Amino acid sequence: MFYLPHGLTIDQSGNYWITDVAMHQVFKFDAQDVKRHMEELKSAHVNPETSVTNNHANMLKPSIILGEAFVPGNTASTFCKPTDVAVHTNGDFFVSDGYCNSRIIKYNKKGELILQWGRLWNSREFVYSQSPPPYAFLVAHALALASELNYLYLADRENGRILCFFANNGTFHKEYRHPAIGTKIYSVAYARKKLYLINGPNLFISNPAPVRGFVLDIYSGKILSMFEPKKNMDNPHNLHVTEDGSEIYVVELNNKKVYRFLQGVNSSNNSQSAKRHQHQILIHPDTEDADTEKTNITKLILGLGSAAISFITICIAIAAIVARCQKRGYLRYLTARKRMNWEAERRENFKLTSLLENRRGRSFKFLEKRPNPRDFSKLNTEPETSEDERPENSLARVI
């Protein structure tokens, strides 16, 4: 049914709109038909060798087909690589056409042409003019509608800007551009007086802006917040935001991932900031197990490497300390001092033990022979003298 689908839009009634840049066509699928064949669509798969779906998917038929299959053109009935569709609440819809023609076409709900505007911004004009005029595009890549404000927003991809037109007649209203966003804007979405957009890589400048998402105030054009995954995005290609602005979905082209960002919703429309939250990455089922296994192996290797490095570092530090101590003689000094203290302590313990053993039996006898204080009067308190100390004995010896 499709060859190279590019843009997907689900309008307020649940209808599906798809652009195919290889077939140069736009398709509309009614919500009732999609619901009726949902189970069959879930079981449908694509043959990787032939890139053709099975018969179940072909049971769903589009209610509107615009453009001629594989016929590029720039007429009322042909497109050249159409990129996106935006649907108004009254049923009118807009097609960005796209990679070749750089124009916007407005249709009524029956698919009848109402008006068109825009032209290609070519390389000669780029050389002689500082900025492109509002009706000259270089890859009209994505559309967004603010139906309550009657605004239509276009992501002019290669010119790095968002253009705002009045949806009823295509008159230019405002341009959004910011140095932090860079030179390329791939997609745009609208919710609650805010613009959501994603930029893209630029390989031809020395210091390109980081690839991420931005939230802008539609009145001032100031950046309110930014969102990005932990790892930088490579080439995000499309963007969708829920009506209340609480969920942001970004599709990345090269690694086949869908990023889901959650953001706090403030009831006040005059809020000047948006709260930033963690993201979730929705990975294609075919690559989920492989990516998980690779992640686990990587974590294990990093953990073992960190442990080994820590162990080696500790061993080197200990060896360095020991070598320094040996060089300065601290280690031998400490060892000898410790040995001397141990020998002294052992000798003291030996002497104290022997003294206690010798005195253990004598202490009670000493206390038993101790005189009663009442008998102190009977004691001879005169100092004792020996015969040698008597004066008469000394004199007799001299004579």
pLDDT at residue 333 tops 90: no
pLDDT at residue 267 tops 90: no
Asked if 134 and 251 sit in the same domain, the reply is no
For a pLDDT cut of 70, what percent of the chain falls above it? Answer: 70
Domain boundary among 213, 242, 265: 265
Domain boundary among 129, 159, 177: 177
**Lookup result for tokens 């313990």:** 349
Give strand pairing partners of 7: 19
pLDDT of residue 195: 97
Average pLDDT over the chain reads 80
Answer yes or no: is 305 within a domain: no
Give mean pLDDT, residues 266-273.
43
Torsions phi, psi for 180 (to 5 deg)? -70, -25
Give mean pLDDT, residues 221-240.
92
Answer yes or no: is 342 within a domain: no
With beta carbons less than 8 A apart as the criterion, state whether 81 and 95 touch.
no
pLDDT of residue 191: 96
Cis peptide before 361 (omega within 30 of 0): no
CA dist 23 to 4, 128, 140, 233, Å?
Answer: 7, 35, 18, 29
Asked if 22 and 130 sit in the same domain, the reply is yes
List of residues 6+ apart from 81 with CB closer than 8 A: 6, 21, 22, 24, 72, 97, 98, 99, 100
pLDDT of residue 379: 46
The secondary structure of 223-290 as a DSSP string is EEEEE--SSPPS-EEEEEE-TTS-EEEEEETTTTEEEEEEEPPPS-TT-----EEEEEEEE-HHHHHH
Q: Tell me the pairing of strands 161-166 and 151-156.
A: antiparallel
**Lookup result for tokens 């008159």:** 171
pLDDT of residue 126: 58
* More confidently predicted of 216 and 230: 216
Asked if 163 and 205 sit in the same domain, the reply is no
Asked if 195 and 79 sit in the same domain, the reply is no
pLDDT at residue 140 tops 90: yes
Q: Tell me the pairing of strands 136-137 and 119-120.
A: parallel
Domain count, the chain: 2
CA–CA distance, 144 with 153 (Å, rounded to integer): 5
Confidence of residue 327 (pLDDT cuts 50, 70, 90): low
Read off the CATH number of the domain in which 191 is found. Answer: 2.40.10
Read off the CATH number of the domain in which 99 is found. Answer: 2.120.10.30
pLDDT at residue 147 tops 80: yes
pLDDT at residue 323 tops 90: no
Domain that holds residue 114: 1-46+58-177
* More confidently predicted of 166 and 201: 166
Asked if 21 and 73 sit in the same domain, the reply is yes
pLDDT at residue 212 tops 80: yes
Asked if 39 and 106 sit in the same domain, the reply is yes
Asked if 23 and 152 sit in the same domain, the reply is yes
Domain boundary among 265, 282, 306: 265
Asked if 169 and 183 sit in the same domain, the reply is no
Answer yes or no: is 246 within a domain: yes
CA–CA distance, 169 with 171 (Å, rounded to integer): 6
